[in-house]
Amino acid sequence: MAEKIKILYLDDEMDNLTGFKATLRLDYQVFTAVNIPGAMEHLEKHPDIRVIFCDQRMPVKTGVEFFEGIRSTHPLPMRILITAYTDIEAVIDSINRGNIFRFVKKPWAEAELISAIEEANKFYQANSMLAIKNEELQKAYSELDKFAYSVSHDIRGPLSGILGAINVAREMYDIAEMKEMLFLMEKSLKKLDTYILSMHDYYSLQRGELQICEIDFKKMTDEFRDIYKVFSNSADITFKVNINQREPFRSDTVPLKLILNNLLSNAFKYQNKNNDAKLVELNIEVNKGVATIVVSDTGIGILGNHLGEIFNLFYRASSQESGSGFGLYNVKSALLKLNGQIEVNSVLNKGTTFKVTVPTK
Amino acid sequence: MKDLSFIIIDDTELDHFIARKVITNANKNFNVKSFLNPYQALEHIAHPDYDEGIKIILVFLDIYMPLMNGFEFVEQFEKLDPKIQEKYYIVALTSSVEVSDINLIRSYKSFKARVTKPVTATGLNTLLTKVGKEYNLETGV
Which of the pair, B1 or B14, is modelled with greater confidence? Answer: B14
Inspect the interface and report whether the beta carbons of A156 and B95 lie closer than 8 Å.
Answer: yes
Please give the tally of structural domains in chain A.
Answer: 2
User: pLDDT tens-digit profile of B83-140?
Assistant: 999 999 999 998 877 777 888 899 999 999 999 988 999 999 999 999 988 888 876 5
Instruction: Report d(CA A77, CA A54) in Å as an integer.
Output: 12
Confidence check: pLDDT of B49 > 80: no
DSSP assignment string, A143-212: HHHHHHHHIIIIIHHHHHHHHHHHHHHTT---HHHHHHHHHHHHHHHHHHHHHHHHHHHHHHHHHPPP-E
CA–CA distance, A216 with A250 (Å, rounded to integer): 9
- Residue ending a domain, among A54, A79, A108, is A108
Q: Which of A86, A108, A130 is the last residue of a domain?
A: A108
CA A51/CA A118 separation, integer angstroms = 10
Q: A10-49 pLDDT, tens per residue?
A: 999 999 999 999 999 999 999 999 999 999 999 999 999 9
ipTM: 0.86
Would you place residue A101 in the very low, low, confident or very high pLDDT band (cuts 50, 70, 90)?
A: very high
Which of A149, A171, A318 is opposite residue B25, by nearest beta carbon?
A171
CB nearest A152 (choices: B66, B96, B120): B96
Q: Provide Rg for chain B, Cα atoms.
A: 14
| Angstroms from A258 CA to nearest CA on chain B | 23
Q: A182 or A324: which carries more pLDDT confidence?
A: A182
- Closest residue on chain A to B95 (Cα): A157
Domain assignment present for A195: no
Pick from B37, B95, B120: CB nearest A157? B95
Instruction: Give yes or no for B22 touching A (CB within 8 A).
Output: yes
DSSP H helical ranges for chain B: 13-26, 38-46, 70-77, 82-85, 99-107, 121-135
Determine, yes or no, domain membership for A130.
no
Q: Is residue A25 a part of any domain in this protein?
A: yes
At residue A234, does pLDDT exceed 80? no
Is residue A103 located within the same domain as residue A216? no
- What confidence tens digit (pLDDT) does each residue in A255-309 have? 898 899 889 988 988 888 778 888 999 999 999 999 999 999 998 888 888 887 8
Question: Which of the four pLDDT bands, split at 50, 70 and 90, describes residue A122?
Answer: very high
Residue after which a domain boundary falls, among A74, A108, A142: A108
Q: What pLDDT is stored for residue A1 in this prediction? A: 45
Question: What is the model's pLDDT at position B129?
Answer: 92
The whole-number average pLDDT for the span A215-244 is 85
Is it true that the peptide bond before A107 is cis, omega within 30 degrees of 0? Answer: yes
Q: How far is B59 from chain A (nearest CA, A)?
A: 18
Does residue A40 lie in a domain region? yes
- Note whether residue A117 is domain-resident: no
* Model pLDDT, residue A322: 61
Are residues A64 and A70 in contact, defined by beta-carbon separation less than 8 angstroms?
A: no
Q: Which residues of A touch B98 (CB under 8 A)?
A: 149, 152
Asked if the structure places residue A295 within a domain, the reply is yes
- Of A60-69, A164-173, A230-239, B18-27, which gets the smallest average pLDDT? A230-239
Q: Is the same domain home to A100 and A219?
A: no
Q: Where are the domains of chain B?
A: 4-135
pLDDT of residue B1: 52
Q: How many CB atoms lie within 10 A of CB A339?
A: 11
**Is B21 touching A (CB cutoff 8 A)?**
yes
Q: Which CATH superfamily hosts domain B4-135?
A: Response regulator (3.40.50.2300)
Does A149 fall in a domain? no
Per-residue confidence (pLDDT) for residue A233, from 0 to 100: 77
Does residue A92 fall inside a structural domain? yes
Task: Decide if A319 and B15 are in contact by the 8 Å CB cutoff.
Answer: no
- Any idea what the CATH number is for the domain that residue A12 is in? 3.40.50.2300
In a shared domain, residues A98 and A222: no
Please report which helix (H) or strand (E) contains residue A125, including its range: helix A110-150
Per-residue model confidence (pLDDT) at position A282: 94
Considering the domain architecture, whether residues A96 and A223 belong to the same structural domain is answered as no
Domain that holds residue A51: 6-108
CB–CB of B96 and A156 under 8 A?
yes
| Most confident of the ranges A141-145, A300-304, B7-11 | B7-11
Out of B66, B67, B120, name the one closest to residue A167 (CB).
B120
> How distant, in Å, are the alpha carbons of B25, B33, B88, B133 from that of B121?
8, 18, 21, 18
